[in-house]
Structure 1
């Protein structure tokens, strides 16, 4: 099959699919209508699938000739609680919900990939799985899909995923070897002091003062406990405490996020946060606890898969359109769970158009993506997956 020619032929249909998805966005863990729409297209094209994986996910499989490898690609399908500010003909019909992270484009791309491989099922040896994954924005739907066995029977050898990026013009991609995205840990600090009347501070242990000292002390984690050559982010985003202006607070709660790029640094940073918080509180006569929520692990690309992607992209797009990302992002994506279990790679796909002023960032209510990115994504994913099948 001439993949580029075939993608051009089905492009308008994929655009219409994307616009339908864009008009009907659904939040994480509630992607029921989205799931059914995906299944309706898979039914139309005669593609085998399993629905209700991790409640609202879909796993499609295209079985080629017997033997060979199994490869997979992931498309996240959930939307965000964002008000759409664009006056488009296909503007969101669900008030306060928008595909502001481009997952509608991801879904359309991978429906196109599934269709092409179905049409080529006699031309390749092995299997192709497409995961339409829920809840990337919240609870980590990737982990739940893995726990339900999507990487097994047949076992996945290589895997790809992508994310649209408005800072890149359509027709460009950005790749990175090794560490790409940070691990996340949300945390809550609870400080317990002793409340008293504001006029008699000697009778209190002021939890607000303790909190202030903890906030300052935690700044030394990155500046003095971590090498400047290693990236760590610690952000305190919320503080609650006190009941009245003339009452010294007995309890204060702080919460924030910790971002790291490998497990050793992650474990060390968590240990130091506990030590700093507990000992600073103790020095002021208070007590404090720290609770960490395990978020997403660091996303670390496999060099072998990135090599295949780079070769495909340079062939399809040209060397000048393939950018090598120099530094990791401290943002996160739950595709990292897949990369822990199999050889995977994740890259950024240009969807911006500077000439038209379409450069608004992800998660913005003004995000407009150039739909030509669908065409580029389908071709690149298909060509790279085919290359990985032949490894």
Structure 2
């Protein structure tokens, strides 16, 4: 007997309506089955995006592809918010929560090794961060939920965001009226990274270290060597890490002994600062600039006074003109209550082995998903994309970055189930 899956879902739910636990288990088993059915198609979609990457602000082909996929699913589409962004709206027609899912669209400017059959066709542009995977997962979730629209309550928004790599897209979408068009109660997103495939990692509060760029302005009265020595002393004075740890070695985030999942991770309680400051002259003034990464928000206010103190100790106080942060993007901060609910929900559906604890904060990286979280409570997940047995290491922005495409299956079924569960909650 061949029955369309959505119809089967409604039929079986009605049969077991007096058994809520059975109904819930059935719903998510069907999500799993439907994800398996569309998996090969999603892999093709991902590979198409991978072969045709577009830089931030140039996501023309990507926009057209996403729009058509959503329209084919019967989902309302808006493309007039900002740039090449696409917003899909799946309204069940029944009262309920409003949930948003975000996926990024842009690629990176690099020419790293891309040893796959479907490698980039665009010289100097690659999906070296995994946004092609995110797009496939977002479209997969949209298809699963659209197929089961009649069984849902509330509304789901699919935000396909341009210009994430430049930290421009989210802020621009918001400032140009995104949340006048849609009104989510909660928002979710993910990033595939160097964790084991089949695993999802999440934590409450700060996900990344706070990223700042410091600028020190001095009178042009120091030699080049004196400036270098001053920068070194500032670096040594401010930098902080746990004993015998090297949190700047980001390739170890997935290491079970020292990585994020270990309570004794080296990726906590640190301040990392550039070893080599950018030192230059402009308008007869001397400038020293460097990026720094701090895990503790309370310590941020101590950084500028700490730098001034070193300059005074080095007898350069009279030569100092100013110390300031010239870049200080917000960081991703997960809503504590929603995070714990998400962990409980996903573990309850797919087993406790799915979820990995996160005890640290990732340096160097950040995500403008933070701007959405300033407006709407939200949760940002890490999705495992590495598979050591296959020689696949999903270390973002690095040479030989690859992703085990099984992560697409894990992402679609897990987060389709999460959204279904969240829609059913008051």
TM over 0.5: yes
**Hey, what does 2:261 align to over in structure 1?**
none
Q: Distance in 1 between matches of 2:167 and 2:394?
A: 26
Match among 354, 367, 382 for residue 333 of structure 1: 367
Match among 223, 229, 234 for residue 206 of structure 1: 223
**Kept in 1: contact 2:311–2:317 (CA 8 A):** no
Distance 1:47 1:296, change over 3 A: same
**Hey, what does 2:53 align to over in structure 1?**
25
Cα deviations across residues 54-103 of structure 1 (Å, max 9, x unaligned)?
A: 31211111101332111111111111112142332211001111111110
Secondary structure of the 1:72 match is strand
Distance 1:146 1:261, change over 3 A: farther
Q: Distance in 2 between matches of 1:285 and 1:307?
A: 52
Q: Distance in 2 between matches of 1:390 and 1:138?
A: 36
**Kept in 2: contact 1:260–1:298 (CA 8 A):** no
Give TM-score, length-normalised by structure 1: 0.86
Gaps of 5+ in 1: 195-204, 244-249
Give TM-score, length-normalised by structure 2: 0.79
Q: Distance in 2 between matches of 1:38 and 1:270?
A: 45
Distance 1:271 1:386, change over 3 A: farther
Q: Distance in 2 between matches of 1:288 and 1:219?
A: 22
Structure with greater proportional strand content: 1
**Kept in 2: contact 1:35–1:57 (CA 8 A):** yes
Gaps of 5+ in 2: 1-8, 10-29, 242-266
Match among 214, 227, 233 for residue 272 of structure 2: 233
Q: Distance in 2 between matches of 1:58 and 1:271?
A: 44
**Hey, what does 2:408 align to over in structure 1?**
374
**Hey, what does 1:82 align to over in structure 2?**
110
Pairs within 5 Å for 1:302-381: 302-330=335-363, 331-381=365-415
Is residue 2:197 matched to residue 1:170? yes
Cα deviations across residues 113-169 of structure 1 (Å, max 9, x unaligned)?
A: 112222222211211011111122113322222222323444211111111123x22
How far did residue 285 of structure 1 move? 4.7
Q: Distance in 2 between matches of 1:152 and 1:231?
A: 39
**Hey, what does 1:121 align to over in structure 2?**
149
Q: Distance in 2 between matches of 1:157 and 1:5?
A: 28
Is residue 2:77 matched to residue 1:38? no
Q: Distance in 2 between matches of 1:265 and 1:280?
A: 21
**Kept in 1: contact 2:193–2:394 (CA 8 A):** no
Distance 1:316 1:165, change over 3 A: farther
Q: Distance in 2 between matches of 1:54 and 1:231?
A: 37
**Kept in 2: contact 1:185–1:292 (CA 8 A):** yes
How far did residue 362 of structure 1 move? 1.3
Q: Distance in 1 between matches of 2:132 and 2:238?
A: 39
**Kept in 1: contact 2:114–2:120 (CA 8 A):** no
Q: Distance in 2 between matches of 1:223 and 1:294?
A: 21
How far did residue 382 of structure 1 move? 0.9
**Kept in 2: contact 1:102–1:362 (CA 8 A):** yes
Aligned-pair RMSD on alpha carbons?
Answer: 2.7
Distance 1:111 1:74, change over 3 A: same
How far did residue 339 of structure 1 move? 1.9
**Kept in 1: contact 2:268–2:361 (CA 8 A):** no
Is residue 2:219 matched to residue 1:185? no
How far did residue 294 of structure 1 move? 3.6
Secondary structure of the 2:151 match is coil
**Kept in 1: contact 2:214–2:290 (CA 8 A):** yes
Distance 1:217 1:185, change over 3 A: closer
Match among 11, 35, 40 for residue 7 of structure 1: 35
